[in-house]
Amino acid sequence: MKNVLQLESITKWLPTANKPIIISGPCSAETEDQTIATAKQLAATGKVNALRAGIWKPRTRPGQYEGAGEEGLKWLIQAKKETGLPVTTEVANAAHVEACLKAGVDILWVGARTTVNPFSVQEVADSLKGVDIPVMVKNPINPDLELWIGALERLNKAGITKLAAIHRGFSSFEKGPFRNAPMWDMAIELKTRIPDIDIICDPSHISGNRELISFISQKALDLDMAGLMIESHIDPDAAWSDAKQQVTPAVLAKIIDGLVVRTVSSDNKTFKDTLSILREQIDQLDDEIMSKMAARMKISEKIGQYKKENGVTILQVARWEEIIQTRITLGKAMGLNAEFTSDLLKLIHQESIQIQTKVMNKIEERV
């Protein structure tokens, strides 16, 4: 179901001549010199549309640098004066909002740790009633799309129409190559549910490693995201927080220059004709897949009835292991990714079990 929110495009409140929109700056505003020097170097690249810096830093454990506090807002505003670029920072409560509005911050963002808590989001929303300021909302730390949408809805109901989402990935117990699992399907589903929402990708927090920022940035643009928020520092290795995921302004410029920006569509007639033919083929195949899937589930229903009549359990572990092994091998031979095949089989198996469960527990009507 699509959500209807009253939204204003990011290009209206953060104008830019070219896609993608780039928001950059240090993870934390550490000192006045560091904040302003970084901002000046970023502005000199001609690639940046807004400056970012963390003023209040919610760290996972105490003892780490937790931000300069309100004093850092002065540095951020001075950076704005010296570069002419709008500035943005994270807010987590009403006091943060009040301080930012008083200082003259142009754009606010709600962090992942705040998005996960509806009470905190509502506090921020209530403090913004009657205020016309852009707000960006990061996805919650856990993969809960409803929390992300709920945060956007709370702010929209408070009168904020200049809204954007920030995709920064999701925390996971299983550690892979990224700091936060991208879970691109979550961002795609958000766009499906709220078509008018602009999504900014945060490659720094997804990767946790400056070497992967280019890869994540290109992937985000290929998924038609509106822009990128990339952390930049004049001396990344000496940064007081998240040093490994920050780049110098010069490296940032190289990353942006290396990106390929693609369009949503093309005016080329041959392209359109070919794409239409290929999409028709996909539509036909999808119809066949749905038909085959429905037929498979009908057989699962019959198997459930047969098991019921013979007092046999639904789950047959040996049979399931056989299916997994043979189908993944077959899928590989056909050029299908093993993980994809496994995930697909699990979904089919779950539905088959649900169907058989209904059959096994159905109470027969007595005449």
Residue 25's nearest CA partner among 242, 215, 223, 208 is 242
| Predicted pLDDT at 138 | 98
For 324-341, the pLDDT digits (tens) are 899 999 999 999 999 999
Q: Is the Cβ–Cβ distance between 6 and 18 less than 8 Å?
A: no
3-state secondary structure the chain: CCCCCCCCCHHHHCCCCCCCEEEEECCECCCHHHHHHHHHHHHHHCCCCEEECECCCCCCCCCCCCCCCHHHHHHHHHHHHHHCCCEEEEECCHHHHHHHHHHCCCEEEECHHHHCCHHHHHHHHHHCCCCCCCEEEECCCCCCHHHHHHHHHHHHHCCCCCEEEEECCECCCCCCCCCCECCHHHHHHHHHHCCCCEEEECHHHHHCCHHHHHHHHHHHHHCCCCEEEEEECCCHHHCCCCHHHCECHHHHHHHHHCCCCCCCCCCCHHHHHHHHHHHHHHHHHHHHHHHHHHHHHHHHHHHHHHHHHCCCCCCCHHHHHHHHHHHHHHHHHCCCCHHHHHHHHHHHHHHHHHHHHHHHCCCCCCC
pLDDT tens for 279-307 read 888 988 888 899 899 999 999 999 989 88
CA dihedral 200, 251, 75, 163 (to 10 degrees): -10
| In the chain, domain spans | 10-257, 269-360
Q: What is the pLDDT of residue 317?
A: 84
Q: Residue 28: beta bridge partners? A: 54
Write down the pLDDT at residue 355: 92
Q: For residue range 201-226, what is the model confidence (pLDDT) as tens digits?
A: 999 999 999 999 999 999 999 999 99
Rounded to whole angstroms, the maximal C-alpha distance in the chain is 87
The rounded mean pLDDT for the chain is 92
User: So what's the pLDDT on residue 363?
Assistant: 60
166 in Cβ contact with 203 (< 8 Å): no
Mean local confidence (pLDDT), 96-113: 98
Backbone torsions φ then ψ of 75, nearest 5 degrees: -65, -40
In this structure, of 90-99, 260-269, 352-361, the range with the lowest mean pLDDT score is 260-269
Q: Is the pLDDT of residue 196 over 60?
A: yes
Q: Which of 56, 64, 152, 154 is nearest to 96 (CA)?
A: 56
Domain 269-360 sits in CATH at 1.20.59.10
pLDDT at 248: 98
Inform me whether the pLDDT recorded for 233 exceeds 50.
Answer: yes
Choose the weakest-confidence range: 15-29, 96-110, 118-132, 157-171.
15-29
Which residues fall within 8 angstroms of residue 170, CB to CB, at 6 or more apart? 139, 140, 141, 142, 143, 180, 181, 183, 186
Stretch 226-252: mean pLDDT: 97
Within 10 angstroms of residue 25's Cβ, the number of other Cβ atoms is 30
The answer, yes or no, to whether residue 366 has pLDDT greater than 60, is no
Answer whether 287's CB lies under 8 Å from 280's CB: no
Q: Read off the pLDDT of residues 259-279 as tens digits, 9 standing for 90 and up.
A: 999 887 777 888 778 888 888
Which pLDDT value is given to residue 347? 92
Q: Specify the CATH number of the domain 10-257.
A: 3.20.20.70
Q: Are 230 and 221 in contact (CB under 8 A)?
A: no
Output the pLDDT for position 270.
82
Could you give the CA distance from residue 150 to residue 5 in angstroms, rounded to a whole number?
A: 11
Mean pLDDT value across residues 97-117: 97
Give pLDDT, residue 235. Answer: 97
Please give the backbone phi and psi of residue 172, each rounded to the nearest 5 degrees, phi first. Answer: -145, 145
Radius of gyration of the chain (CA): 25
Joined together, the tokens standing for residue 358 give: 């209904």
∠ CA 49-52-55 to the nearest 5 degrees?
160
Percent of the chain with pLDDT over 90: 72
> 66 and 39 in contact (C-beta within 8 Å)?
no
pTM flag (> 0.85): no
pLDDT of residue 364: 52
Is pLDDT of 71 > 80?
yes
Model confidence over 12-66: pLDDT tens digits?
898 775 679 999 999 999 999 999 999 999 999 999 999 999 999 877 778 778 8
Does the fold of domain 269-360 match that of domain 10-257? Answer: no
